[in-house]
Structure 1
Amino acid sequence: MERTRNFCIIAHIDHGKSTLADRLLDITEAVPERERMDQILDTMDLERERGITIKAQAVRVLYNRDDGEYNLNLIDTPGHVDFAYEVSRAIAACEGALLIVDASQGIQAQTLANLYLAMEHDLEIIPVLNKIDLPVADVATVTEELVELLGVEEEEIIKISAKTGENVTGVLDAIVDRVPAPQTEHDETRALIFDSHYDPYRGVVSLARLFDGELKKGDSVRAMGSEEHFELLEVGCYSPKPTALPVLATGEVGYVIAGLKDIEALRVGDTVTRVQEPASEPLPGYAKALPTVFSGLYPTEGDDFERLREALSKLQLNDASLFFEPENSRMGFGFRCGFLGLLHMEIIQERLEREFDLDLIASSPSVKYEVVVEGEVVEVTNPSELPEIFDEIREPIVRATVICPKEYVGAVMGLCHERRGTSVGMEYISTRRVQLTYDLPLAEIITDFFDAMKSRTKGYASYDYELQGYEPSDLVKVEVLVSGDTVDALSIIVHRDKAYHRGRALVEKLKELIPRQQFEVPVQATMGRRVIARETVRAYRKDVTAKCYGGDITRKRKLLEQQKKGKRRMKQVGNVEIPQEAFLAALRI
């Protein structure tokens, strides 16, 4: 145990976490030379395509130096704000953290968020300045920022280039010298499950950190949360390929396989103990991740409903922050799903389509509102469920931290005020960069806030947010009627000031996308009982008077009247099919 070190790598997006993990694996010769490749820990196709880390990965490497051999358990974490829950789980399994900062970009919003998370868990922070080989690297300024932020001496900051491998050995030495060895207080076995995934051949594979005692193959164990009993078929570690071990000892990080087919039996955050000498108290576990963005997912083929349920259950095992429940609407049977953000929603949808071969339609993303009806508080995640009459409606408010160069402060402030933001504070973190703090409604930032901010600041701004609570607001429901029928999936809840613009934009888009029929199709946006915008999809029209050459006008009039009567009859029985593109386009308004 004295020679074990558990640490994670935390940083903002693209500051070089996965590249540093690659170099650490190279130096410790964990991967044979012929199998080496970039971002070796990003195993998912989606991660490699987008160049981002989505899942935290745990790997054990052996580091030899003059005073002996050390076991280093490395956890590479994601950097995007939507996957902060992954980071918090990784941090709970460690004693130390490498805080990576890009020498060309300096401290960013997510750097601060992850740093505060690590400090809450009393982790030993090792500051690492990466990308010092870049021509645009400003090592002196960023070093100054780090000294001020962490209150450390300049000598304690390790300056490296993960790409070229310059001074990376210094990082390994710092881990051994500065990260404390794991401590144990109990003799009874206690292991914290911090991640798990479903393997079609071996069942549920769970990643565990042993805080006390040991686990070995054949042990009878019990999950303290679900009260399930099972036998361990295998224990081992990733180095980085799965390697079976005779025993997992105190302080180590590894995987356990119990041949479970029931996904619910061993949840993330549960504590595993032995049946013979059980622990009396479980480990603290995790606060449950609360979804902030909700959307309906529907299979395009009605028969795929059960397949979608099974796929969501398997993904939920791997991603504890995903929430879903069945729902029925005009789009058929589907699931109301809760996500941690828009990128999270996009990734889940893409994984369902790729890994489980499903074809899906997603409804407009919305947030959770609190509605007061006759003194009782009701939670509403689906705009179509908003009651007609209510006393008050409250929306979720987030505290957003934006870091940008000082010349873009005006642009960022303008954007935040457009999105109904309230300024909380502003401070200079260096001579060139400013940190702005705003309280913003979550509904205003879940769709295109990030894109708008990036375009106004030429990509230099970064932001992070955390939920503050709920505040009353003047919100209304805008519904879309096609041929007089309400389309639930297109309902939205917006602020009264923006209702007209959103309604107009919706009907104009739908007019372009709904195919023409033999009869006129009115497309209306309504607020309460009042129509606030209307467009009409024109009918196809045959020239019934073409065969009349001269003669009395009453002949033509009679033919036109007959045509009009036929169109009216068709309108009564005709049904308008709304194409999938119309739903998708509505999401982007």
Structure 2
Amino acid sequence: MAETVNIRNFCIIAHIDHGKSTLADRLIQKADIVEDRYFKDQILDNMDIERERGITIKSQAVAIPYTASDGKEYLLNLVDTPGHVDFTYEVSRAINSCEGALLLVDATQGVQAQTLSNMYLALEHDLEIIPVINKIDMAAADIPGAKQQIERDLGLNPEDALLVSAKQGTGIDELFEAIVTRIPAPSGDSSAPLQALIFDCHYDPYRGVVVHLRIFQGRVRKGMKIRFMSNNSEYEVETAGVFKLALVEQDELSAGSVGYIIAGIKTVGDVRVGDTVTDADRPCDTPLPGFREVKPVVFSSIYPVDSNDYEELRSSLEKLKLNDASLVYEKDSSAALGFGFRCGFLGLLHLEVIQERLEREFDQSIIFTAPSVKYRIQLKTGESIMVDNPTEYPDEGKIESAEEPYIRASIITPTTYLGNIMTLCMEKRGVQTNMTYLDEKRVELVYDMPLAEVLFDFYDRLKSISRGYASFDYDITDYKSTELVKLDILLNGKAVDALSQLVYKGNAYERARVVCERLKDEIPRQQFKIPIQGSIGSHVIARETVNALRKDVLAKCYGGDISRKRKLLEKQKEGKKRMKMVGDVELPQSAFLAVLKTKDD
């Protein structure tokens, strides 16, 4: 086991698409952990969806052996972190496991919103920060500009910044030396009682839950009894070891190490990221700080396209829950779609990831209802309830007031797009609280806005307005009062519960109009007219009509008196009337998906 003097624990933090996974690839390749024939890009990203989108969803860890220029051998523990705002808590736990961070800045795009927020996270945990300017090989790279931003926006010394091209492998040797010389060795006493932080976990179908740990004090070995301090559950360690892409078993892990343990834990839900692990026989006095329960903020219902597939969907969600402890779900039912599940997600990206994984990994055909947030409703009886599902929304007469969650949104944009972005934020009920010019070309905007407004198309529109240059980051602040209404969609006079939405009163007409227009394009024409209506209570606020198909009943009536033709048309009219009374409308799956896209891109 390497002494703590020769261990370096570090992470790579960056905004999305600044080359974090590519840099991790180069570090791993340089250390010869994996043979070239087995190497593939984004080697730490295990899921197809991570590779295709170029994002990291699950954080990974890897131990990289390195021989420094002075001949000493070091073990560098790289804790890879997700880049997206939905997974900020996981990032904070990964950062807490390290002593240093490589702060990656894209030479073509400069410092962006999450570069700042991740740096503040790293500073909160007293990490040694090494600024790294990536993509120096690109034609559009502006190295002096990036250095200037590092000094002005981040307050770091631009002379300390290392220049690398993760794609071509330029500057990787200098980076290794900087990690060894500038990041401090971990402290900790191996003889003290065990105190370890869980920064992640994953599920292995053969061995159960593999818990990813950073040991701060003491040591953990095979056969030892351990205790999780958040729920006091106890387990016996079966194996312990380190990550070298594969799991490499070791006799023990001591203070300063990053590694894993397997202890016969059956579900990922039993292991909580941020929890402290200690020795059951000789526990430590206090848990490590910063632990909190991860709470979902976006809610949506999932239904199988074919109601006979309900059991399959249930078992798929159970298997998915084994891998993703932050997914929350409970049974739900709808008159239109049958039985399904009400699910809670960390954010919109998390929702999309779950949707894609259900469709790809488990081959499920599913329908998602419109995403919603959790509203706080004050009833006239004095009782306060939380509602995220339109079907549970109480009667208007019983409601005293309603509150919705707000976020503090931070947007960094080139000044060229400033006016359009401010218009978008105002349209989304945002209130500007701050505006800072970072330099002649870039400005940072801070807005307070309702989370519900960000759910639908905010991110897509922000990217298209700014041609991809604006960056967006947010954190949830508190609840503020709002005027909330339940928007019902009626087909042929019947309300379709799966299409109901809770919306801000001022947006209800616009939302109803868009939904009715979308449905008109998606619903196949029948032998009778179909009215599509958007209503609040009994008050209809929008309407579209799907026109009837007409069979040509006059085709076989040639010549003769006009009264013969009229008789046939009257007969058809009567039949259509009767059909309308008994006729039910079939809603295709595309209709539900169309409702989710509220604006044309």
Q: TM-score, normalised by structure 2?
A: 0.92
Is residue 11 of structure 1 aligned with residue 14 of structure 2? Answer: yes
1:203-352 equivalent positions in 2, closer than 5 A: 203-284=208-289, 286-330=291-335, 331-352=337-358
Query: For 1:204, what is the secondary structure of its paired residue?
Result: strand
Counterparts of 2:558 and 2:460, CA distance in 1: 61
Contact 2:12 2:20 survives alignment (8 Å): yes
Is residue 447 of structure 1 aligned with residue 456 of structure 2? Answer: yes
Once the two structures are TM-superposed, the CA of residue 11 in structure 1 deviates from its matched residue by: 0.2
Q: Counterpart of 1:377 in structure 2: which amino acid? A: S
Deviations 1:455-481 (A, max 9, x none): 222221111111121211233222101
Once the two structures are TM-superposed, the CA of residue 62 in structure 1 deviates from its matched residue by: 1.2
Query: For 2:74, what is the secondary structure of its paired residue?
Result: strand
Partner of 1:376: 383
- The structure 2 residue matched to 1:577, chosen from 573, 586, 589, is 586
- Percentage of matched positions with identical amino acids: 55
Counterparts of 2:548 and 2:219, CA distance in 1: 74
Partner of 2:108: 104
Once the two structures are TM-superposed, the CA of residue 544 in structure 1 deviates from its matched residue by: 4.4
Partner of 2:82: 78
Query: For 1:88, what is the secondary structure of its paired residue?
Result: helix
Is residue 532 of structure 1 aligned with residue 535 of structure 2? Answer: no
Partner of 2:131: 127
Partner of 1:437: 446
Counterparts of 1:317 and 1:72, CA distance in 2: 29
Q: Counterpart of 2:78 in structure 1: which amino acid? A: L
Counterparts of 1:258 and 1:225, CA distance in 2: 17
Q: Could you tell which deviates more after superposition, 478-487 or 183-192? A: 183-192
1:543-558 equivalent positions in 2, closer than 5 A: 543-544=552-553
Once the two structures are TM-superposed, the CA of residue 552 in structure 1 deviates from its matched residue by: 7.2
In the superposition, relative to structure 1, how do residues 248 and 586 fare at CA in structure 2: closer, same or farther (>3 Å)?
same
1:73-222 equivalent positions in 2, closer than 5 A: 73-184=77-188, 187-222=192-227
Counterparts of 2:226 and 2:90, CA distance in 1: 26
Is residue 482 of structure 1 aligned with residue 498 of structure 2? Answer: no
Once the two structures are TM-superposed, the CA of residue 363 in structure 1 deviates from its matched residue by: 0.6
Partner of 2:28: 25
Query: For 1:135, what is the secondary structure of its paired residue?
Result: coil
Contact 1:192 1:285 survives alignment (8 Å): no
Q: Could you tell which deviates more after superposition, 155-164 or 312-321? A: 312-321
Counterparts of 1:437 and 1:561, CA distance in 2: 65
In the superposition, relative to structure 1, how do residues 105 and 542 fare at CA in structure 2: closer, same or farther (>3 Å)?
closer
Once the two structures are TM-superposed, the CA of residue 558 in structure 1 deviates from its matched residue by: 5.4
Counterparts of 1:319 and 1:582, CA distance in 2: 29
Once the two structures are TM-superposed, the CA of residue 435 in structure 1 deviates from its matched residue by: 0.9
Once the two structures are TM-superposed, the CA of residue 546 in structure 1 deviates from its matched residue by: 5.5
Partner of 1:355: 361
Q: Counterpart of 1:82 in structure 2: which amino acid? A: D
Q: Counterpart of 2:343 in structure 1: which amino acid? A: C
Counterparts of 1:547 and 1:22, CA distance in 2: 74
Query: For 1:316, what is the secondary structure of its paired residue?
Result: helix
Counterparts of 2:148 and 2:330, CA distance in 1: 49
Counterparts of 1:547 and 1:38, CA distance in 2: 68
Once the two structures are TM-superposed, the CA of residue 501 in structure 1 deviates from its matched residue by: 2.1
Q: Counterpart of 1:41 in structure 2: which amino acid? A: L
Query: For 2:489, what is the secondary structure of its paired residue?
Result: strand
Contact 2:378 2:401 survives alignment (8 Å): yes
Counterparts of 2:214 and 2:76, CA distance in 1: 13
Deviations 1:526-577 (A, max 9, x none): 1221111222223333444556667777666655454444333333333222
Once the two structures are TM-superposed, the CA of residue 67 in structure 1 deviates from its matched residue by: 5.1
In the superposition, relative to structure 1, how do residues 128 and 423 fare at CA in structure 2: closer, same or farther (>3 Å)?
same
Q: Counterpart of 2:220 in structure 1: which amino acid? A: L
Contact 1:226 1:266 survives alignment (8 Å): no
Once the two structures are TM-superposed, the CA of residue 146 in structure 1 deviates from its matched residue by: 1.0
Q: Counterpart of 1:146 in structure 2: which amino acid? A: I
Q: Could you tell which deviates more after superposition, 522-531 or 166-175? A: 166-175
Partner of 1:506: 515
Query: For 1:372, what is the secondary structure of its paired residue?
Result: strand
In the superposition, relative to structure 1, how do residues 543 and 162 fare at CA in structure 2: closer, same or farther (>3 Å)?
closer
Query: For 1:534, what is the secondary structure of its paired residue?
Result: strand
Q: Counterpart of 1:85 in structure 2: which amino acid? A: Y
Aligned length: 589
Query: For 1:2, what is the secondary structure of its paired residue?
Result: helix
Q: Could you tell which deviates more after superposition, 238-247 or 532-541? A: 532-541
Deviations 1:184-203 (A, max 9, x none): 36711122222112211222
Q: Could you tell which deviates more after superposition, 550-559 or 230-239? A: 550-559
Contact 1:85 1:321 survives alignment (8 Å): no
Contact 1:103 1:139 survives alignment (8 Å): yes
Contact 1:263 1:313 survives alignment (8 Å): no
Q: Counterpart of 1:452 in structure 2: which amino acid? A: R
Deviations 1:226-246 (A, max 9, x none): 333332222112112221111
Query: For 1:391, what is the secondary structure of its paired residue?
Result: strand
Once the two structures are TM-superposed, the CA of residue 77 in structure 1 deviates from its matched residue by: 1.5
Q: Counterpart of 2:124 in structure 1: which amino acid? A: E
In the superposition, relative to structure 1, how do residues 376 and 182 fare at CA in structure 2: closer, same or farther (>3 Å)?
same
Partner of 2:597: 588
Q: Counterpart of 2:369 in structure 1: which amino acid? A: S
1:414-433 equivalent positions in 2, closer than 5 A: 414-433=423-442
Partner of 1:407: 416
In the superposition, relative to structure 1, how do residues 285 and 539 fare at CA in structure 2: closer, same or farther (>3 Å)?
same
Counterparts of 1:49 and 1:415, CA distance in 2: 29
Q: Could you tell which deviates more after superposition, 307-316 or 394-403? A: 307-316
Specify every segment of 5 or more residues in structure 1 that has no aligned partner in the other structure, as ranges: none
Runs of 4+ in 1 over 4 A off after TM superposition: 543-562
